[in-house]
Amino acid sequence: MPKNKTHSGAKKRFRVTGSGKVMREQAGHVHKFHEKTPQKARALSKDVLVSTGDLKKVKKLLGR
């Protein structure tokens, strides 16, 4: 029986915590920091939970 492969793009963008939650990075934290306040840049650097509407799809891509 063949094994399911993890989606290459998804494994780079999402991570699963020990308790099973799926985390993602926030958009807008790559460049153009001269337009953002330091407080905004720090807030964008934190990971957030994947929304419940996308959770089923993301878990499938990750093979969970």
CA geometry: angle 24, 19, 23, nearest 5 deg: 0
For the chain, what percent of residues have pLDDT higher than 90? Answer: 92
Contacts of 45 (CB under 8 A, 6+ apart): 26, 29
Burial code (b: 16+ CB inside 10 Å, e: under 16) for 21-41 equals ebeeeeeebeeeeeeeeeeee
Query: Can you give the pLDDT at residue 31?
Result: 93
Query: Can you give the pLDDT at residue 1?
Result: 84
Question: Is 10 strand, coil or helix?
Answer: helix
Rounded to an integer, the average pLDDT of 38-53 is 96
